[in-house]
Amino acid sequence: MTTPLGGTAGEAAGDGPEKPAPERKAATPPRYAKTPTTASIIGWTGLSALVPGAAHLRAGQRRTGFILLGAFGVLLVAGVVFALVIRANLGLAVKDGVLVTVTVAAAVGALAWFALVITSYIALGPDRLPQAGQVASGIVVGVLCVSVMAPFALTASSMLTVRQTADAIFTSDPAVPGETVTPVRQEDPWNGRRRVNFLLIGGDAAGDRTGVRTDSMTVASVDVKTGNAVMFSLPRNLQFVHFPKGDPLAARFPNGFTGDSGQGLLNEVWQYAEDHLGKGRGPHELKSAIGYTLGLKVDYYAIVDMYGFAALIDAIGGLKIRVETDIRWGGHFGTAGTIKAGYQRLDGEHVLWYGRSRVDSDDFSRMGRQRCVMGALLDQATPSVVLANFGKIATATRHMFRTDIPRDLLEHLVPLALKVKDAKTTSLQFVPPTIWPGSADWVKIRRLTAQAIKDSERSSRTALAAGVTASPGAPTGATGGAGSATGPAATPSGSGSLAAPTPGGSSAGATPSRTSKASTPLDTPTPNHQNKPAKTLSEACGL
């Protein structure tokens, strides 16, 4: 209604002119501080692969981001604790259950990190990028997915390799058919033994030979508490060894082993037992003969194929060895080349020839070189070297070893090996003029063995340069505590001692009749101008 003055009724009433209704603003979605770029999305996705949850926090999904970040923290702490436990006991790293657990965890981790990268990328909204940016970021994120899965895949593959290699080398079957395997107790894996004795064999089954010839035989006697070890090297041409009473070969060879050839060389025992007593008897009979000769109980054996050993040396990048004199190698006359005297880094083939060459040499010199090769391998195969060449080592090892060490003992063997590496190792060779292989003084061998072990137990780890004081004329009546030798046939307690062998297989302490011919040995002697037959590897090899 208008008034005479032209205004409305409301205006006449003093209400004033009508005001237009305010416009309602449309709701807008949340926005980033600024429009994301291709580089920023790629960068935040990459950061999220390292710090899970970072991309979600950037995208405003705070709850999801903090959950992912917390879960990552828990995993990180768990990983650190696991690493510390493994570092404290490296044997757990080869335990079957741990290997399976790590393999499964690595597989799950690979899938989880793949999903993490994808969800982080999606949370950042790549669909708001121009088409070129979407393509570029998608390619980069795809590469990132593969990259983050690679370490997990490598871990799983390595664990499977360790497990397969361990299962292929170490056995759960009895060493001798018909026998039972003694279960390994976690609280006492060595069954109360103070020392454990390993027979380390270098076997040669070349194409021009029938069967296996054990051309290198060394017993490593290890103190399980200190890691101090003594290595006893026996010549392959040691003749007429005896067997303990009750052994099937003791009755067959009451006056000493002669084999099929009549020569009765020690390196024939393995194959003779395989041929005449049945497959699988070779290692048992060789352990029996060598243990009886030394007066020790040989607990386990490990045979290394010579050519597989060369592959192992190549796998770790060669060995640095002090070559005392030029060594000609290749065939019977050394026509292939010469390994020059001095410190040399040798590949697998040359290490093999260094240890085996007979040119201008003999069995006893070879034994000394082989001992130095073993010492160099022990010294230079550090954990870092093993990890850096793990795949090659596993491949070489799987095809070069045979052993009767139980699979369940492996987790305890690893820390013992590391203990040996840091402890004192001495070595003793039974070579002329100390021992004549053709007419060995069995009682003397036992006496020197007992004395070397006794000195090893008595020595401290800080006296690395002191050596072992055993001599060819070592006392026969040393007495004392554990490890003492009482009488010529005594051996240290806890070492699995056996009675002294005689030609008739009895346990009398008299020297065998073959010993009386020591003044006219059957084999050519090698000068051994050493006052101390047992020496540290540092002394003997310059390690």
Task: Kindly state the helix (H) or strand (E) to which residue 365 belongs, with its residue range.
Answer: helix 363-380
- Last residue of some domain: 133, 153, 169? 169
Query: pLDDT value at position 492?
Result: 36
Q: Is residue 183 part of a domain?
A: no
Residue 216 exposed, middle or buried by CB count within 10 Å (0-12, 13-18, 19+): buried
What are the tens digits of pLDDT across the range 372-381? 887 788 788 8
Are 159 and 234 within one domain? no
Report the SS3 class of residue 206. Answer: coil
What are the tens digits of pLDDT across the range 267-305? 999 999 999 999 889 999 999 999 999 999 999 999 988
What are the tens digits of pLDDT across the range 50-67? 999 999 999 999 999 999
What are the tens digits of pLDDT across the range 455-486? 998 874 444 444 443 333 333 333 333 333 33
Q: Is residue 7 part of a domain?
A: no
What number is the average pLDDT over the span 398-422?
87
Are 429 and 510 within one domain? yes
Query: pLDDT value at position 27?
Result: 53
User: Residues of the chain with pLDDT > 90: what percent?
Assistant: 42
Are 221 and 258 within one domain? yes
- 345 neighbors 511 (Cβ within 8 angstroms): no
DSSP secondary structure, 37-77, as one string: -HHHHHHHHHHHHHSTTHHHHHTT-HHHHHHHHHHHHHHHH
Distance CA 523, CA 112 (A): 69
Q: Is residue 391 part of a domain?
A: yes
Global pTM exceeds 0.85: no
Q: How many domains does the chain have?
A: 2
The strands making up 300-305's β-sheet, listed across from edge to edge, are: 401-403, 300-305, 195-204, 213-223, 229-234, 425-429, 534-536
Are 90 and 210 within one domain? no
Query: pLDDT value at position 309?
Result: 80
Are 256 and 404 within one domain? yes
Side chain identity at 377, as an amino acid letter? Answer: L
- 505 neighbors 246 (Cβ within 8 angstroms): no
- Last residue of some domain: 153, 169, 185? 169
Query: In 10 A of CB 3, how many CB atoms?
Result: 11
Distances (CA, A) of 396 to 307, 309, 358, 389: 10, 8, 26, 11
Are 470 and 512 within one domain? yes
Q: Is residue 5 part of a domain?
A: no
What number is the average pLDDT over the span 121-149?
94
**CATH number of domain containing 232:** 3.40.630.190
Query: pLDDT value at position 22?
Result: 58
Three-class HEC string of 107-169: HHHHHHHHHHHHHHHHHCCHHHCCHHHHHHHHHHHHHHHHHHHHHHHHHHHHHHHHHHHHHHH
Lowest mean pLDDT among 18-22, 131-135, 354-358: 18-22
Handedness of CA 419, 204, 212, 362 (dihedral sign): negative
Q: State the pLDDT confidence band at 253, using cuts at 50, 70 and 90.
A: very high
Inform me whether the pLDDT recorded for 35 exceeds 80: no
Residue 228 is classified by DSSP as -
Inform me whether the pLDDT recorded for 493 exceeds 90: no
Are 474 and 536 within one domain? yes
List the domain range (segments joined by +) for residue 260. 195-541
Closest CA to 257 of 270, 247, 243: 243
Closest CA to 184 of 96, 99, 253: 96
Residue 472 exposed, middle or buried by CB count within 10 Å (0-12, 13-18, 19+): middle
Task: Kindly state the helix (H) or strand (E) to which residue 455 belongs, with its residue range.
Answer: helix 442-458
Inform me whether the pLDDT recorded for 144 exceeds 50: yes
- 300 neighbors 404 (Cβ within 8 angstroms): yes
- When the pLDDT of each residue in the chain is averaged and rounded to a whole number, the result is 78
DSSP secondary structure, 66-101, as one string: HHHHHHHHHHHHHHHHHHHHHHH-GGGGG-HHHHHH
Q: What are phi and psi of 372, to 5 degrees?
A: -70, -35
Q: Is residue 17 part of a domain?
A: no
Inform me whether the pLDDT recorded for 497 exceeds 50: no
Q: Is residue 531 part of a domain?
A: yes
Closest CA to 431 of 530, 286, 316: 530
Q: State the pLDDT confidence band at 49, using cuts at 50, 70 and 90.
A: very high
Lowest mean pLDDT among 127-141, 264-278, 316-330: 316-330
Output the CA angle 331-334-340, nearest 5 degrees.
135
Which residues sit opposite 193 in a β-bridge? none
Side chain identity at 250, as an amino acid letter? Answer: A
Q: Is residue 190 part of a domain?
A: no
Task: Kindly state the helix (H) or strand (E) to which residue 213 belongs, with its residue range.
Answer: strand 213-223
Are 335 and 290 within one domain? yes
Distance CA 122, CA 137 (A): 11
Report the SS3 class of residue 233. Answer: strand
Report the SS3 class of residue 245. Answer: coil
Residue 373 is classified by DSSP as H
Inform me whether the pLDDT recorded for 254 exceeds 60: yes
Are 514 and 410 within one domain? yes
What are the tokens at 487?
């009488």
Which residues sit opposite 8 in a β-bridge? 2
Are 481 and 436 within one domain? yes
- Last residue of some domain: 105, 134, 169? 169
Q: Is residue 175 part of a domain?
A: no
Distance CA 91, CA 30 (A): 55
Lowest mean pLDDT among 26-40, 51-65, 178-192, 384-398: 26-40
Are 124 and 78 within one domain? yes
Are 393 and 534 within one domain? yes
Distance CA 368, CA 431 (A): 10
What number is the average pLDDT over the span 85-111?
92
Query: In 10 A of CB 382, how many CB atoms?
Result: 11
Distance CA 320, CA 410 (A): 28
What are the tens digits of pLDDT across the range 505-538? 333 333 333 333 333 333 333 344 444 555 666 6
